Amino acid sequence: MTTSPAEIESFIAGFEYRLAPVERASSEAWWELATTGTEEAQKKLVSTGMAYNELFADRSEYELVKGWYEGRGSLESSVLRRQVEILYKTFAGRQGDEETLRRIEELEAEANAIYSNHRGVVEGKETSENKLREVLRVSEDSILRREAWEASKSVGRKVEDLVRELARLRNDLAHAEGFADHYTRSLDLQEIDAVELARLMDGLQAATDEPFREFKAGLDADLRRRFGVEQIMPWHLSDPFFQEPPERDDLDVDRYFAGKDLAALTRETYDRLGFEVRDVLARSDLYERAGKDQHAFCLRVGRSYPYDVRVLANIHDDAYWMNTMLHEFGHAVYDKYIDPSLPYLLRTVAHINTTEAIALMMGSLADDPGWVSSVAGVPEEDLAPDLERLAERRRADRLIFTRWALVMYRFEKALYQDPDREDLNTLWWDLVEEIQLVQRPPGRDEPDWAAKLHVALAPVYYHNYVLGYLTAAQLRHHLEKNVVGGPFYVSEMAGRYLQEAVFGPGARNSWEDTVLGATGEMLNPDYFVKSLC
Ligand SMILES: [Zn+2]
């Protein structure tokens, strides 16, 4: 027996009615926990998370939706078909034994609280992550650097068992749904073809092998000179996981932003594109405070119009936070400009990787000479000596990111293949040595992988940054070559184009069709790879 489209629509309408308040409450709880770090907020997050899962707990409803999904080819309306696809993936993502789901919620909340509240110890003092990062960026003292680097990893031991247990539980859910492991299941739920992704990642590794080797050799030579050491160790690099290019003393990008109001620069940037972010800024929580989440994110609370979009950050007047603010507000404008007349389920981004693409494209303006002079107001004569170094740094940035993302991709795949394997510490460092060309400290056997928040709390996510980078390069190329004919960031036409081609349609189309629709071609890694070699 087939269901009529009208019956499907009526089910969806009823479902939205139940979903909307829970979704809102869950986001509110998330925001409260991140801004206060209290135990009460943590409990609220767990209970709203459970209420959310409950919405998807009725197995017969799931079977119904699954049937519609499998027969969706016969639905005439593509809008309804897309809703069925999203509804099914949302249901499928929450199937599982109630006890296991509850346990996962609890452990995630627990891990989240540990990452938020943990402070590494340097010179006998508890030290914020911002401070640790600063030591690694600027200190010339190898001993202090080593202490800061080790402190940055100290959270690993506290969460290691939690992370392994989370991986086991996530795998249990995957097995019950017939998947080999959580990694495979997650890709399926994210509408990403595992074979295609593996091909893409292998391709990126091969394309960056030589350029990265050459780059790293040059970098090591610089660092040996700078620190007067023979062997470069991880703490000589300028961040805990070698995700960014090290500081170079002949290029000070922080000076562009010293003493400046980064929130105002963010507003100015989006003004030029014709996007209003004053409402978002007003609802945001932007400066450091005790007990507050030390990272940054963008959150949309509910889906009713006008949208309630907020950003959490911990602004310092430097290049890192400029990049981060532009990045998070990239997510924010995407969320804010989704067509409110779309059905509820489509009133969201097309995919994690399309919203990352916008965020990355915007964040990278922070070291784009054109933006730094025209929007951030740094006089061109001050910038002139930096131009070549900025271009080198940009390339270094992408190379380093790609190699780091490959470590995460390969590590997580292995973690979910066998969360019980005893040699995870070794595996992590094998990958870091092979792919990032960073040597492990002699004898080190610590759960350094667990110190990376994403491994615990944003699993099977990193490839979306990679896809985001590729999409960002392709989209910017299209905007500047075919839409604007110049820098996109000072063009209201570019803003309108983004609104019409990317933000407005929300989740109306799959991510692949969104990329095709916005750039006229399927995802093509060439634009990104060209910038690396
Ligand atoms: Zn992001």
pLDDT in tens, 130-152: 899 999 989 999 999 999 999 99
d(CA 440, CA 132): 20
- Per the CB < 8 A criterion, the answer to whether 27 and 301 are in contact is yes
CA of 264 to the centre of ligand 1 (A): 20
CA of 70 to the centre of ligand 1 (A): 32
H helices within 37-121, ranges in order? 39-54, 59-70, 78-93, 98-117
- Work out whether the CA dihedral 12, 14, 15, 19 comes out positive or negative: positive
pLDDT single digits (tens) 513-532: 999 999 999 999 999 999 88
How many Cβ atoms from other residues are within 10 Å of residue 125's Cβ?
10
pLDDT single digits (tens) 61-97: 999 999 999 999 999 999 999 999 999 999 999 888 8
Residue closest to 495 by CA, chosen among 484, 485, 482, 505: 484
CA of 225 to the centre of ligand 1 (A): 35
507: pLDDT strictly greater than 60: yes
CA of 506 to the centre of ligand 1 (A): 17
Residues 147-165: what's their mean pLDDT? Answer: 97
Residues 460-482: what's their mean pLDDT? Answer: 96
Residues 42-48: what's their mean pLDDT? Answer: 91
pLDDT at 164: 97
CA of 327 to the centre of ligand 1 (A): 6
CA of 524 to the centre of ligand 1 (A): 21
CA of 356 to the centre of ligand 1 (A): 5
- Per the CB < 8 A criterion, the answer to whether 351 and 514 are in contact is yes
CA of 4 to the centre of ligand 1 (A): 39
CA of 360 to the centre of ligand 1 (A): 7
CA of 461 to the centre of ligand 1 (A): 11
Please provide the average confidence, as pLDDT, over all residues in the chain. Answer: 95
pLDDT single digits (tens) 349-374: 999 999 999 999 999 999 999 999 99
d(CA 221, CA 217): 6
**For strand 297-301 and strand 308-312, is the pairing parallel, antiparallel, or unpaired?**
antiparallel
CA of 316 to the centre of ligand 1 (A): 18
533: pLDDT strictly greater than 80: no
pLDDT at 203: 93
CA of 359 to the centre of ligand 1 (A): 6
Orientation angle between helical segments 352-363 and 511-519, nearest 10 degrees: 40
Residue closest to 205 by CA, chosen among 449, 521, 472, 431: 431
* Vertex 482: Cα angle to 480 and 487 (nearest 5): 15
pLDDT at 452: 95
CA of 331 to the centre of ligand 1 (A): 7
pLDDT at 333: 98
* Amino acid at position 145, single letter: R
Entry pTM: 0.90
CA of 355 to the centre of ligand 1 (A): 7
pLDDT at 246: 79
pLDDT single digits (tens) 12-44: 999 999 999 999 999 999 999 999 989 999 899
Which residue's structure tokens are 């402070």? 119
Q: Is the peptide bond before 447 cis (omega within 30 degrees of 0)?
A: no
Which residue's structure tokens are 């509850």? 102
Which residue's structure tokens are 């939205």? 16
CA of 450 to the centre of ligand 1 (A): 20
pLDDT confidence bin for 2, thresholds 50/70/90: low
Q: What percent of the chain has pLDDT over 70?
A: 100
Cα dist from 470 to 116, 243, 369, 494, 512, whole Å: 31, 17, 21, 19, 12
CA of 470 to the centre of ligand 1 (A): 14
Cα dist from 161 to 149, 155, 459, whole Å: 21, 12, 16
Which residue's structure tokens are 């839409």? 483
Residue closest to 416 by CA, chosen among 102, 184, 96: 184
